[in-house]
Amino acid sequence: MEAEKILYLLGNEAIAYSSVEAGLGFASAYPGTPSTEIVETLAKLSKKYGFYVEWSVNEKVALEAAYGAAVAGVKSLVAMKHVGVNVAADPLTTSAYTGVNNSFVIVSADDPSMWSSQNEQDNRYYGLRSYIPVLESPTPYHIKDIVLEAFRVSERFGHPVLLRTTTRLSHLRVPYSFREPVREVSPPEIVRDPARFSVIPAHARRLRGDMLRRWSRIEDYFSSAWFNWVEGEGDKLVITSGFSYSYVVDALNRLGLEDVKILSLSGMIPIPRKLIIEAAKDVKKVLVVEELEPIVETHVKSILFDEGINVEVAGKDYIPLVGELTLDSVVKGIGAWAGLEVEKSISQPKIDLPVRPPAFCPGCPHRGTFFSLRKAVNRSGLKPIYSGDIGCYSLAVLPPFQMQDTIVDMGSSIGLANGFSHVLPEDHIVVATIGDSTFFHSGIPALLNAVYNKAPMLVVILDNRVTAMTGAQPHPGSGYNINWEKSVEVDIKKIVEALGIEYVIELDPFKIRDSEKIFKDAVEYVKRARKPAVVIAKRACTLLIVAWARRRGIEIPIYTVETEKCIKCGICYNNFTCPAIYPDDKGIAHIDPALCVGCGECVDVCPTKAFKPVKEWSEEFKSLWW
């Protein structure tokens, strides 16, 4: 092996590098914050170290692909955000029944406090309900060791392992010691074993027994494994789960508590029963500190009751049930549990920052789509219900658009619209808005359902050519693979037509007036025919194009305002709300050249044609759009 290299990595990048050191052979994922950087990093490393990596169309397919590779004897990893595990739950659960023939690590990036998610579910429950062991790093500095252990445990027991991380752990930075792996590549051999991998009921009944026996062996291992340990001495015990250990150590130091010992559980599912009994038998009180749900707390109370160990066990009566842990919340919780007076705030200075609501980026094609769609729908005289979805376009829930009445899960826009369209009276128009990547992820079955059941709705597919919300990753419609190498470009319009949609049309959202006319005609079709119609708003993510232009030295055209033509109507900055456009103290519009990206949408928005390009688009700039 070569000498170690010291790298300074995001937690997600450290997970990727550790997987390479573990001998990874296959990786798959669907991008979703806070997990995205794991497989992005693996893609960069894949050619050098000789393993396969892909963006899959959704989390279920990603998990099945990695599961298949592990059945074929290849060390595999699949990564997704916490709600993505819901999509993959079917094969996830069954993978524990069959087991695998090499390491199979499922990374669940949970999101306490919902920084970029619609819920903060605690995916340790998936380990509990699916009989899949859960590992979580107790500190940033343990990431490498815990990832390597996840691969070892999975291979040793022939069983999938859930590696849990959180937004905080995924996105902090940590020094990482990377040792170049020596990879011995040998072709995998799959042994046909339908009695194990064809999970019909007769096989499944036997497989469940096999799974429970493996589970028992894993529990015994967790009770003696290095990653679960007791430190300190005293008649009080704090039990931590995963990353909560880091907060507890700092909190005890802040409080000056020395008569407290810590039981750190980095492997908390299955619960290491023997270790808990040993740690709790000689203490007077126990506090369980864990982020989100009282999973460990519930188990500890049950175990100690069964063993007749009469000790007070506390948890969520001191530690928050909502949101990610902070040093403040843990100090406050442990202090109150220990009977100490704690000042109100320790780590957070009180600063009144100005409120900055999120907004569409300058030049975002979604802004033009919603602007023209709203005008067309309002002029139709129908009452709109906007069924929204997960993506950048979720920002349309905010003023001035307010055109996302529901946002539930990936693909739910068309799914919920199926219900709305059959129960709302005919003076309503149901509009489902869904992104291109989300359409591939889970919109196709819902649209097929709309065709089959003749659901009168307008479906607007916002095709900005990439999975923009998570960092502009390519998808089947982009025409590129994970390494931005040319691949098959799947045509959304052809898919929609193949599903049986009779009315489908594409538009350019930068052409506001043309778009309004197309939306007007589509709404009239739905009203008249009582069938679904699809409009595809097709224009690449402007931020991606601008980044490409800057890297290649191509001049970005910008626009300006002929101020003598401005009538101070405010449409451009109050209704269209491009961040590059601002009013002066007299209400006259101006463009900030530092923010303008040359999209030209403002030209059609202005009733007096006050906007004009400083320089027209060059052929080089035009060539970047696809």
Q: Are 69 and 56 in contact (CB under 8 A)?
A: no
pLDDT at 352: 79
Beta bridge partners of 521: none
Per-residue model confidence as pLDDT tens digits over 125-142: 999 999 999 999 999 999
DSSP secondary-structure letter at 473?
B
CATH for the 5-183+197-222 domain, from 3.20.20.110, 3.10.20.90, 3.40.50.970, 3.30.70.270: 3.40.50.970
Rounded distance, CA 205 to CA 313, Å?
37
CATH for the 549-626 domain, from 3.10.290.10, 3.10.20.30, 3.30.70.20, 3.60.15.10: 3.30.70.20
pLDDT at 1: 44
Rounded distance, CA 43 to CA 74, Å?
17
- Every domain of the chain with CATH number 3.40.50.920 lies at 228-337
- Every domain of the chain with CATH number 3.40.50.970 lies at 5-183+197-222, 365-540
Positive or negative: CA dihedral 69, 87, 11, 46: positive
In this structure, the strands spanning 104-110 and 267-269 are unpaired
3-state secondary structure 206-269: HHHHHHHHHHHHHHHHHHHCCCEEEECCCCEEEEEECCHHHHHHHHHHHHCCCCEEEEEECEEE
pLDDT at 2: 54
Q: Under DSSP, is residue 419 helix (H, G, I), strand (E, B) or coil?
A: helix
- Every domain of the chain with CATH number 3.30.70.20 lies at 549-626
pLDDT at 345: 61
Please list, residue by residue across 17-30, b when 16 or more beta carbons sit within 10 angstroms of its beta carbon and e when fewer do.
bbbbbbbbbbbbbb
Q: Are 302 and 225 in contact (CB under 8 A)?
A: no
For residue 328, what are its two tokens?
Answer: 């403040």
Residue 339 has a CB neighbour count (10 Å cut-off) of 6
Residue 187 has a CB neighbour count (10 Å cut-off) of 7
Rounded distance, CA 246 to CA 169, Å?
11
Name the helix (H) or strand (E) containing 435.
Answer: strand 428-435
pLDDT at 358: 85
DSSP string, 6-65: EEEEEHHHHHHHHHHHTT--EEEE---TTSHHHHHHHHHHHHHHT-EEEE-SSHHHHHHH
Name the helix (H) or strand (E) containing 564.
Answer: none
Nearest 5°: phi and psi at 236?
Answer: -120, 145
Q: Are 464 and 539 in contact (CB under 8 A)?
A: yes
pLDDT at 185: 60
Rounded distance, CA 589 to CA 560, Å?
9
Per-residue model confidence as pLDDT tens digits over 245-297: 999 999 999 998 988 999 999 999 999 999 999 999 889 999 999 999 999 99
Q: Which ranges of 361-411 does DSSP label H, i.e. alpha helix?
A: 365-380
pLDDT at 223: 93
Rounded distance, CA 378 to CA 100, Å?
56
Per-residue model confidence as pLDDT tens digits over 46-104: 999 999 999 999 999 999 999 999 999 999 999 999 999 999 999 999 999 999 999 99
In angstroms, the first-to-last Cα distance of the chain is 44
Nearest 5°: phi and psi at 473?
Answer: -85, 145
Cα–Cα nearest to 103, from 165, 143, 163 = 163
Q: Which residues of the chain have pLDDT under 50?
A: 1
Per-residue model confidence as pLDDT tens digits over 365-420: 999 999 999 999 999 999 999 999 999 999 999 999 999 999 999 999 999 999 99
For residue 18, what are its two tokens?
Answer: 């550790």
Residue 225 has a CB neighbour count (10 Å cut-off) of 17
Beta bridge partners of 29: 55, 79
Rounded distance, CA 521 to CA 372, Å?
12
| CATH architecture assignment, domain 365-540 | 3-Layer(aba) Sandwich (3.40)
Beta bridge partners of 228: 265
Cα–Cα nearest to 599, from 359, 365, 360, 358 = 365
Average pLDDT over all residues of the chain:
93
Residue that has been written with the tokens 């690449």 in this structure: 540
CATH for the 228-337 domain, from 3.40.50.920, 3.30.1330.60, 1.10.490.10, 3.30.70.60: 3.40.50.920
Rounded distance, CA 516 to CA 605, Å?
11
Residue 89 has a CB neighbour count (10 Å cut-off) of 16
Q: Under DSSP, is residue 477 helix (H, G, I), strand (E, B) or coil?
A: coil
